[in-house]
Structure 1
């Protein structure tokens, strides 16, 4: 028994501030497997299936990265805060929404420059446009899946895991590299430059605010605006 005047040792728990190599490796491997499984399901979907191919693709684009993010969290850290899951002031969210609108406005001049360099790229987004322009109900489902679920999944993976992992070194390089990986993940087509712009904007917001939610706001506004535009015009 310790003396009466002794001080008991204080127990401390270590807190990981950013995801590391383990989280990155698990996230990359899980994302590849989940995207592959989703792609096989989408390809084998019968032509008379009651769901739109665009809806299926958006569902995969949201669930696959969310699954990878979840596995990256639970493998070791088991805390979402190191991945940028932190509440932030409304001002940051408003800034994210405004930047999302600006990025949507930039989609026309960027497309005008890069579309001729990637002939046939318009077919890449065709299933999404068909899902948005079919019926009002289909547009609503498309916005939920493509304007909400997909941005959450992709931002949690590419910014929550990848960008946060890279931010331990040179922040500007981390923003650029994560944006480049995000762009290439969309395929070598005319979508790639726009995805890079979105990746730069969301990466900068993550770096500046320390939270993933302003980045999610950018992505949600950009995707939703595009889907509503194609569904109503």
Structure 2
């Protein structure tokens, strides 16, 4: 066995494995379900709007699942991509996030006809963004920062890093597909797939979760700000 093969095996052992993946999926399912039930039962007049509650669940549930995966065996966040990265990669993340936001119009124009009746899927998010300055700020904090942190930790930190043992394209494409389907079979799915592809590539080339988190945060925050300003 040569030295390079030994290094490869050592890297695979330090990646998330089947136990981490299985427990992350189980924990995510339980946390998403519990959070969704709580969000649905919010009383009328609650200071937290339905859209903000959904963003809160979308951030905390995957973060909880990520924590379960980390604590199971490895007990180290570095195999999941939580590593320092050069500032240049973060700037690339900002640029890619803006490009993805710009692509949302042509992607929607192509794929929306395949998903009739799903136009209102994200209406609660739009309502939260356009309900006033304070609501807009809270929505950006939850949907533009917390949600990207949680979703990238789960879908890139756990899923993609698990899949990289079968090659770069397995990690990039399959994790993007899982990420897209997790958003539902609706008009959001193609947009989520585009963001997922970009973030899988950034994770693979940078070796860090932070550039994908930046992409996701820029994309979500810009989208929320756009809806908040335009009211659409």
1:198 aligns with 2:195: yes
- Asked if the contact 2:14/2:74 (under 8 Å) is kept, the reply is no
Q: What corresponds to 2:4 in structure 1?
A: none
Secondary structure of the residue aligned to 1:124 is: coil
Q: What corresponds to 1:72 in structure 2?
A: 69
* Aligned positions of 1:16-95 closer than 5 A: 16-95=13-92
TM-score, normalising length: structure 1: 0.92
- What does the per-residue CA deviation read over 1:139-173, in whole Å, with 9 as the maximum and x for residues that have no partner? 00000000000000000000000000000112112
Unaligned runs of 5+ in 1: 1-13
- What does the per-residue CA deviation read over 1:109-136, in whole Å, with 9 as the maximum and x for residues that have no partner? 1111112221221211000000000000
Once residues 200 and 178 of structure 1 are traced to their aligned partners in structure 2, the CA distance between those partners, rounded to angstroms, is: 8
Secondary structure of the residue aligned to 1:168 is: helix
Instruction: State the superposition RMSD in angstroms.
Output: 1.1
Q: What corresponds to 1:110 in structure 2?
A: 107
Q: What corresponds to 1:122 in structure 2?
A: 119
Once residues 47 and 196 of structure 1 are traced to their aligned partners in structure 2, the CA distance between those partners, rounded to angstroms, is: 35
- What does the per-residue CA deviation read over 1:19-76, in whole Å, with 9 as the maximum and x for residues that have no partner? 1111101100000000000111112122332220011000000000000000100011
- Asked if the contact 2:173/2:197 (under 8 Å) is kept, the reply is yes
Q: What corresponds to 1:136 in structure 2?
A: 133
Runs of 4+ in structure 1 over 6 Å off: none
- What does the per-residue CA deviation read over 1:154-196, in whole Å, with 9 as the maximum and x for residues that have no partner? 0000000000000011211221000000000000000000000
Kindly name which structure, 1 or 2, has the bigger radius of gyration based on alpha carbons: 1
TM-score, normalising length: structure 2: 0.93
Secondary structure of the residue aligned to 2:157 is: helix
Once residues 100 and 87 of structure 1 are traced to their aligned partners in structure 2, the CA distance between those partners, rounded to angstroms, is: 20
| Candidates 155, 158, 164, aligned match of 1:161 | 158
Once residues 71 and 201 of structure 1 are traced to their aligned partners in structure 2, the CA distance between those partners, rounded to angstroms, is: 26
Once residues 55 and 139 of structure 1 are traced to their aligned partners in structure 2, the CA distance between those partners, rounded to angstroms, is: 10
Corresponding residue pairs, total: 220
Unaligned runs of 5+ in 2: 1-9
